[in-house]
Amino acid sequence: MSATIDVADAIGTLTHSTFKRAVDENIGPVAVEFMSYGCGHCAELEPVLQEAAELLKSEVACYRVNVAVEHGLAAEYRITGTPTIVMFAQGAEAGRVEGSAPQLAALVAAIRGPFESQHD
């Protein structure tokens, strides 16, 4: 079963042509889920990630990249499995989480973690 995206999607979708502007040129914290719509773990993570993105929307910009379509981005960021969430600070990778993390608190902490040290 594949994940579906509804109109109230809290996570933007990036392509090769929109990635640079959204991630590389963004000075604020960004989290990008590298996923595939045919991935069971991605479908399991989707509702939790939507909730996390909604909670974090004032702190972290959240996006997704469909690796089944965006092979170049998947290769550039060494994505070997889905889902993988990569956190970026000022365009540079600040951390990553690989695999499904269906608990909201753990997912929010994992996304926030790489950015908390930047405020100390």
Whether the CB-CB separation of 40 and 70 falls below 8 Å is answered with no
Instruction: Indicate if the pLDDT at residue 2 is higher than 90.
Output: no
Q: Beta strand 30-35 with 84-89: parallel, antiparallel or unpaired?
A: antiparallel
CATH class of 12-115: alpha beta
Q: Which residue has the higher pLDDT, 7 or 13?
A: 13
Residue 4 has pLDDT above 60, yes or no: no
Q: Where are the domains of the chain?
A: 12-115
Please write the tens of the pLDDT for every residue from 79-98.
999 999 999 999 999 999 99
pLDDT at residue 39, as a whole number? 93
User: Which residues make beta-bridge pairs with 98?
Assistant: 84
DSSP 8-class letter at 72: H
Q: How many CB atoms neighbour CB 114 within 10 A?
A: 20
Q: Which residues contact 2 (CB under 8 A, 6 or more apart)?
A: 37, 38, 43
Structure confidence at residue 68 as a pLDDT band (50, 70, 90): very high
When pLDDT is averaged across residues 93-116 and rounded to a whole number, the result is 88
Chain position carrying tokens 């970026």: 88
How far apart CA 9 and CA 50 sit, in angstroms, is: 7
Mean pLDDT of 65-82: 96
Confidence of residue 26 (pLDDT cuts 50, 70, 90): confident
Mean pLDDT of 23-52: 93
Return the structure tokens found at 109. 């902490």
CA 46/CA 102 separation, integer angstroms: 9
Q: What is the pLDDT of residue 5?
A: 44
For residue 35, the cross-strand partners are 66
